[in-house]
Amino acid sequence: MLGFISARQAGLDDPLRLRRAESTRRVLSLELNKDRDVERIHGSGVNTLDIEPVEGRYMLSGGSDGVVILYDLENFSKKPCYTCKAVCSVGRSHPDVHRFSVETVQWYPHDTGMFTSSSFDKTLKIWDTNTLQPADVFNFEGTVYSHHMSPIATKHCLIAVGTKSPKVHLCDLKSGSCSHILQGHRQEVLAVCWSPRYEHVLATASADSRVKLWDVRRASGCLFTLDQHNGEKSKASSEAANTAHNGRVNGLCFTSDGLHLLTVGTDDRMRLWNSSTGENTLVNYGKVCNTSRKGIKFAISHGCNPEFAFVPYDSNIAVYTIYSGELITMLRGHYSTVDCCVFQSDFQICCHVSNKIML
C-alpha cells in the first residue's frame, strides 16, 4: 500500500490504481460487522434493499409485511459501536401502505426526494420522500415481481415492471401512464434491469427459461434472446435451444460497465453473457443454489480488480470473481434464506437480508 501511495505522489502511477487496490482489499476482507447493526423494525422477512446513489447514506428496505423503512447509515454518535436508526417508515397504520409483500424498492437515481416500491398487491407506487405520500400509483392485473429505473437515462423516465403477466410494462413518470408493453415472453417476468451503458437497452428474465434484451425505441420486438448453447443445437434436447437456463430465470444484473450481463436460474447455475452479442461466455461458477420461486436480487462490485458478484446462496452470500468464476468466500451470519443483497461501492459495504438486515 505504501508503494501505491509513493508512486501516486511521484506521478508514476494512475491515481485510480490505488483506489482499485484498496477497494479490492476491502472486499476480500469482508466479514460480519460486529460494531454496526441495523434497527429491527420489520415484523417478518425483508425482501429488498436499496442504497441511494447520491450520498450513499440512506437505505430503503421492503418487507413481506408490506412495510417500507428508510434508514440513515451515518454514524452521528462517533462511537465505534452503533445502530443505524430508522428515519421514517410506511408502516401498517399508514393509509397508503402496501397490502401484501413488498418485492422491490428503488431510489430515484438522481436525488433522494423520491423512491419507488412494488408489491404483490399488484401496484407500483411512486413516493415523495419528504411527505411519505404516494405521488403516483400504477395498478396491474397480476402480481408485481420486480421493477427498475434506468440509472443513466436522460431522454426518458420509464420504469420497467415485471409481473405475473408475460408482458413487460413500461411506466412513464412524466405522463403517469403505462406508455407501452414489450411482448415476447411466455410466462411471468421475474426480473428486469436497465443497462448502465445504453439508456434504451433493457434486460428481462422470465419463468419461461428465457432472457431477452430489448431496445425500447424499437417496436419490432426484442434485440435478441440469450441462448446458453450459442446457436448450437443442444445435444440433450432440441427443446432447450434458445433458452438461457434449464429452469426459471429469476435474477439478472449488468456489470458496472454494461458490457456483460449475469443471470441466475433455478437450474442452480449462474451465467455471464456478452451484452452486445448475446454470447454465453461459458464462465463456470459451479453450483449456485437457487430454489426461490420469486426474484433473486444480487449485486456486483464497482471499482475493484477483479470485479466481484455477491449472490444469495441459502443462508449465506457467495462471493465470486465475475470473469473467472472462482468462489472467493462465503459471507455467513444469517440463520435463514437470504433474499437480497446490495453493495455500497464507496465504502465496500455489503448489506444482505433474510428476516434481519446485516452489514
The rounded distance, in Å, linking the Cα atoms of 208 and 183 is: 13
Do residues 119 and 99 make contact, with C-beta atoms less than 8 angstroms apart?
Answer: yes
Q: How far apart are the first and last CA of the chain?
A: 26
Each residue's pLDDT tens digit, 153-193: 999 999 999 999 999 999 999 988 887 899 999 999 999 99
Each residue's pLDDT tens digit, 47-60: 999 999 988 899 99
Each residue's pLDDT tens digit, 218-252: 877 899 999 999 988 655 554 556 899 999 999 99
* Average confidence (pLDDT) over 268-289: 97
- What pLDDT sits at residue 5? 55
Q: Which of 315, 236, 16, 303 is nearest to 8 (CA)?
A: 16
Helix (H, G, I), strand (E, B) or coil at 355: coil
Helix (H, G, I), strand (E, B) or coil at 119: strand
Residue 182: strand pairing partners: 168
Each residue's pLDDT tens digit, 23-73: 888 888 888 888 888 999 998 889 999 999 988 899 999 999 999 999 999
40 vs 10 pLDDT, higher one:
40
Q: How does DSSP classify residue 292?
A: -
Do residues 90 and 41 make contact, with C-beta atoms less than 8 angstroms apart?
Answer: no
Q: Which of 202, 203, 205 is nearest to 191 (CA)?
A: 205
- What pLDDT sits at residue 29? 86
Domains, in order of start, for the chain? 1-30 (no CATH), 116-335+348-358 (2.130.10.10)
Helix (H, G, I), strand (E, B) or coil at 148: strand
Each residue's pLDDT tens digit, 81-91: 889 999 999 99
* Average confidence (pLDDT) over 76-84: 85
| Residue 10 clears pLDDT 90, i.e. is over it | no
Query: What does pLDDT average to over the chain?
Result: 89
- What pLDDT sits at residue 349? 62
If you count them, how many residues does the chain have? 359
Q: Name the pTM for this structure.
A: 0.90
The rounded distance, in Å, linking the Cα atoms of 206 and 322 is: 22
The rounded distance, in Å, linking the Cα atoms of 243 and 262 is: 14
Each residue's pLDDT tens digit, 257-271: 999 999 999 999 999
Torsions phi, psi for 65 (to 5 deg): -85, 0
* Average confidence (pLDDT) over 83-104: 95
- What pLDDT sits at residue 77? 79
* Average confidence (pLDDT) over 204-218: 96
In the structure grid, which three cell numbers stand for residue 92, read together? 401498517
The rounded distance, in Å, linking the Cα atoms of 276 and 261 is: 10
304 vs 8 pLDDT, higher one:
304
Do residues 140 and 124 make contact, with C-beta atoms less than 8 angstroms apart?
Answer: yes
- What pLDDT sits at residue 8? 56
Do residues 33 and 359 make contact, with C-beta atoms less than 8 angstroms apart?
Answer: yes
Each residue's pLDDT tens digit, 296-345: 999 999 889 899 999 999 889 999 999 999 999 999 988 888 889 998 87
Distances (CA, A) of 337 to 252, 291, 308: 19, 10, 21
Share of the chain above pLDDT 70, in %: 90
Chain centre to alpha carbon of residue 286: 21
